[in-house]
Amino acid sequence: MKYRILAIGLVLSLSSLLSGCSSNEAEIVESRTQVQMENGLFSWSDDVLEEEEAVQLFRVMEECGLEDLYQHFSSDISNEEIENFLECADEYGVSVYYLTGNPEWGLNPKGEEMCEEVEKVAQFNAGTEGKKLAGIIIDSEPYLLDAWDENENGVMNSYVLAMEQAHEKAMEAEIPLIACIPFYHDSSVHEEALKELMADGCDGIAIMNYSRKDEIEHVETEISIAEEVDCAVVVIYELQEAGKHGLKENNTYYQEGMEALQESISKFQDTFGKENFRYALHDYDALVEVIENE
């Protein structure tokens, strides 16, 4: 996803609203780690780890009613820096998830790279006396690779198997694991693989619903499966400017702004219930741009 509010006064008013595989039948895990996903925000930059920048980030989140942060941490970031960041987040009531991912990881059905990332979170949480990471979100998008064009089903199955390995390790450490997926994995032959992923490969899914056309229809299958297998769901809106990372006008709310986004959110809430629908915004830098442009 690395490729992929109106003036501040309106943003404040919005805060209350912005508050197949190995078998045909996926087996539902009996010991799924429960995760309460709230409205969230993606952040890919280490710049927000600086104290002044962190405060600005969390104030924007507070004003927009966003409670979960999916934050990427570079390999050179120390545990102390993460601990300080988590303490600041806690002051604003924000839960921080460890955001990571690489398309290539989906090609390894043993899930070794994904398991290593889970282990990093487990070791950090076990070693800190302060606030802990709320979980891990794996944004591996193997459909971006040439291998997907060559063997789509094989790559999808490999990805699901890798996620299952990572999920098993995450469950052992009692760390919620979220899978970041595009809205179209429920199409054609992938619906059974998707069901297996949601049943055995994660505790929650974050759906990149990057199209303003038929938004509700895009995620109906995923939400239906989620209810069946007890998997949490958050729907992601894109805010980056068209032209970046191949995004087109219909993929993003950058030009339409938060008034149009609020209308979409209201439609989802009317359909699925205000208390049941959760969403996330991608990403923080783009959100700031949209605020400044209103």
What is the distance of C-alpha 201 from the center of its chain? 15
Strand 232-238 to strand 204-208: parallel, antiparallel, or no bridges (unpaired)?
parallel
**What b/e string do you get for 159-177 counting C-beta neighbours within 10 Å, with b at 16 or more?**
bbbbbbbbbbbbbebebbb
pLDDT value for 21: 38
pLDDT value for 188: 64
For residue 16, which phi and psi values (nearest 5 degrees)? -70, -25
Residue with tokens 């297996």: 196
Q: Tens digits of per-residue pLDDT, 172-224?
A: 999 999 999 999 988 767 999 999 999 999 999 999 999 999 999 999 999 99
pLDDT value for 9: 32
Class of domain 8-20+35-293: alpha beta
For residue 69, which phi and psi values (nearest 5 degrees)? -115, 125
Collect the ranges in the chain with pLDDT lower than 70.
1-31, 188
Q: Tens digits of per-residue pLDDT, 67-89?
A: 999 999 999 999 999 999 999 99
pLDDT value for 39: 98
3-state DSSP assignment of residue 236:
strand
Domain parsing of the chain, residue ranges: 8-20+35-293
pLDDT value for 189: 77
Of 116, 119, 46, nearest to 84 (Cα)?
46
pLDDT value for 194: 96
Between CA 189 and CA 153 the distance in angstroms is 8
